[in-house]
Amino acid sequence: MTIVAVVGMAGAGKSEVARIFEQHGFIRIRFGDVTDDEVRKQGLELNEGNERRAREQIREKYGMAAYAVLNLSRIDLASKQSPAVIDGLYSWEEYTFLKNYYGGSLFILAVWASPKTRHRRLAARHERPLTSEEAAQRDKAEVEKLNKSGPIAIADFTIPNESSLQSLEREVKRAMATMRRPG
């Protein structure tokens, strides 16, 4: 069993990396689906403010490992069928929960891009674009309130994403090959 959790700051390219894994036979589990479902359940529009409030409510109700706990059955089911990729593991608590549960089957892959690059990408995205100020506020909130930096710091693999999709795909394939090697 192989489970890869993709971590990184907003706009680093986590979803692109997860998409590449998906194209290579991994089943994708997007942790953010829990947030989107909660926002819709409350009858609200999907936007940065509503999503932030929903994330905070979910973690207040279920703890800082909330997204790992709430997605565990999806990960288990997927990993019985195929390797799985988690798009968007955030907190240290999510990491430790999954590491304790899956042990050596769990790999952490960090995607890194500079704040300038990430904020430019976030401003240009079609769904839920962010201004530079909103992106900077999100960075601060994710580091200070979500314990997001821990999983990034201890990642098994770190991939830079400052240039082209082709370069990113080469780096992902290199990491993927290492994960699949025995030992």
DSSP letters, the chain, are --EEEEE-STTSSHHHHHHHHHHTTPEEEETHHHHHHHHHHTT---SHHHHHHHHHHHHHHH-TTHHHHHHHHHHHHHHHHS-EEEE----HHHHHHHHHHHGGGEEEEEEE--HHHHHHHHHH-SSS---HHHHHHHHHHHHHHS--HHHHHT-SEEEE-SS-HHHHHHHHHHHHHHHHS--
pLDDT digits (tens, 9 = 90+) for 11-30: 999 999 999 999 999 999 99
Q: Residue 183 has what pLDDT? A: 46
Domain harbouring 32, CATH code: 3.40.50.300
More confident residue, 119 or 49: 119
How many domains does the chain divide into? Answer: 1
- The boundaries of the domain holding residue 57 are 3-180
Residues 131-144: what's their mean pLDDT?
90
